[in-house]
Chain A
Amino acid sequence: MSLWQRMTLIFRSKANKALDRAEDPRETLDYSYNRQVELLTKVRRGVADVATSRKRVELQVNQLEQQSTKLQGQAQKAIEMGREDLAREALTRKSGLTSQIGDLKAQQAQLQGEEEKLTLAQRRLQAKVESFRTRKETIKATYTAAEAQTRINEAVSGIGEEMGDVGLAIQRAEDKTAQMQARAGAIDELIASGALEDVTAAPGDDITRELDAMSSTSDVEAEMARLKGGSTPPQAIESAEDGGDILESEPVSEPAADGNEGGARP
C-alpha cells in the first residue's frame, strides 16, 4: 500500500469516527451539521487571529523603519558636524535594526500566506456546508431512516474529509502564529526595556542629545556673532568651533545652509 493510500485511510477513519455516534442515522445529519457550523466559526476566528498577528508585525516593522531612518539622519548630521564617532555609532545601531526588520518582514509574508490559506479554506468549507444543508433537508424529507443510511454516509464522509482538512489548516496556522507571537512579544519587550529605545526614543536618546547640544552651542555662537557683528549672517558650524574667527572674519559671501538647524532630520 502506498504511503498516501495509508494516509487517506487513516484520515478517513478518523473523520468518520468523530461522527459515528447517533442511534437514528438521521440524527447523524444534524450532529454533523452542528459540528460544521462550529468549525466554520472556528475558521473565521482563525482568520481574524492571524490578521491581528500580521498587523502587529506590520506595526513593528513600521516602528523599526522609522527608527532606522532617524538613525540615518543622525549619521548624516554627525558627519556634517565632523563627529565620525557618532556617525559610526548611529550606523552600527542602524545595521542592527536592519536585520530585525528583515526577519520581521519574512514573518509578515508568512502570516500573510497563512491568512490567505485560511480564507480559502473558509470559502471551501462554506460552500460544502451549504451543499450539505440542502442535502440534509432532502434526505430527511424523502427517505425513511433505513433507506437514508447510505446517502447519509456519503454526505457525512464527504464533508468529514473537508472538516479534517480545514481543522488541520487551523491547527497549523495556530502553531505558526503562536511561534511568531512569541517573537513579536520579544521585540515589544526589547523596545520596552530600552535596548532599542536608547537608539530611537524621541528626543531622549544619546546621539540626538549630543547632536542637539552641539547644534545649540553653534546656534548660540552664531547668534552671538550676529549680534556683535551687526548684520553678520550665521556662521557655518565648522567656524563656530574656534570662536575667535567669527569676529575677525569678513562677513561670508554665502550664508551656511544648515547654520540654524536644531533637531534631527525627519
Chain B
Amino acid sequence: MIVRILGEGQFDVSDTDMDGLNELDAAVERAVDSSDVEVFTAALTALLDGVRSVGVAHDVDSLDESDLILPPSDASLDEVRQLLGDDGLIPG
C-alpha cells in the first residue's frame, strides 16, 4: 500500500503492517467523532509515527497514486473536518 502523509510525501507500507496501523486509525476516527482535541492530537501523532516507522519512502519521482491519504502532522481537529468536507481541500 502507498500511504501519503500530507505535507511529507508517500510511504510504502506492507499489508502485514497495515493491521497495526488500522487500530491506530480507528482511534483517530473515534477521537474525531468525539471532538476531543487532546485525544485527537495524541491519536493522530501515534498513527503518523506508525506510518513513518513501518513505512519506507516511496520513489520521489514516481507518479503513483496513494491508496490512503492522511492529514498533516500539525493538523487541527477543525482542519481535518474541513479536509473531509466539501470545500477547501485543493486550493485554486
Residue numbers of A with Cβ under 8 A of B are: 2-8, 10-12, 14-15, 18, 117, 120-121, 123-124, 127-128, 130-132, 135, 154-155, 157-159, 161, 163-165, 167-172
Count A-B pairs with CB separation below 8 Å.
92
Contacts of A6 in B (CB 8 A): 84
> Looking at the complex, which one of A7, A12, A132, A169 makes contact with B63 (CB distance below 8 Å)?
A132
Given A3-B84, A4-B69, A124-B9, are A168 and B90 also a contact pair (CB < 8 Å)? yes
Dominant secondary structure at the B interface = loop
- 26 residue pairs of the A-B complex, CB under 8 angstroms, read A2-B25, A2-B26, A3-B28, A3-B32, A4-B69, A7-B70, A7-B84, A10-B84, A14-B89, A14-B90, A117-B7, A121-B7, A124-B9, A127-B61, A128-B60, A132-B63, A154-B65, A158-B62, A158-B63, A158-B65, A161-B69, A165-B7, A167-B91, A167-B92, A168-B7, A168-B72
Contacts of A2 in B (CB 8 A): 22, 25-26, 29
Contacts of B65 in A (CB 8 A): 12, 154, 157-158, 161
Residue of B nearest to A11 (CB): B69
Q: Is the C-beta of B56 less than 8 angstroms from some C-beta in chain A?
A: no
> Looking at the complex, which one of A8, A10, A127 makes contact with B68 (CB distance below 8 Å)?
A8
| Cβ–Cβ contact A131 & B92, under 8 A | no
Residue of A nearest to B86 (CB): A10
Q: How far is the CB of A19 from chain B (nearest CB, A)?
A: 11
Give Cα A130 to B8, complex, Å: 19
Q: A131-B63, A164-B89, A170-B91 are in contact. List 4 more A-B contacts (CB 8 A).
A: A4-B68, A4-B70, A130-B61, A168-B6
Contact residues, B25-59 vs A (CB, 8 A) = 25-26, 28-29, 32
Give Cα A170 to B6, complex, Å: 12
Contacts of A131 in B (CB 8 A): 61-63
Q: How many residues of B contact A (CB 8 A)?
A: 30
Dominant secondary structure at the A interface = helix
Contacts of A135 in B (CB 8 A): 63
Residue of B nearest to A113 (CB): B74
Contacts of B83 in A (CB 8 A): 7, 10-11
Residue of B nearest to A156 (CB): B63
> Looking at the complex, which one of A7, A127, A167 makes contact with B60 (CB distance below 8 Å)?
A127
Q: How far is the CB of B43 from chain A (nearest CB, A)?
A: 11
| Cβ–Cβ contact A3 & B29, under 8 A | yes
Give Cα A158 to B62, complex, Å: 8
Contacts of A161 in B (CB 8 A): 4, 65-66, 69
Give Cα A12 to B2, complex, Å: 14
Q: Is the C-beta of B64 less than 8 angstroms from some C-beta in chain A?
A: yes
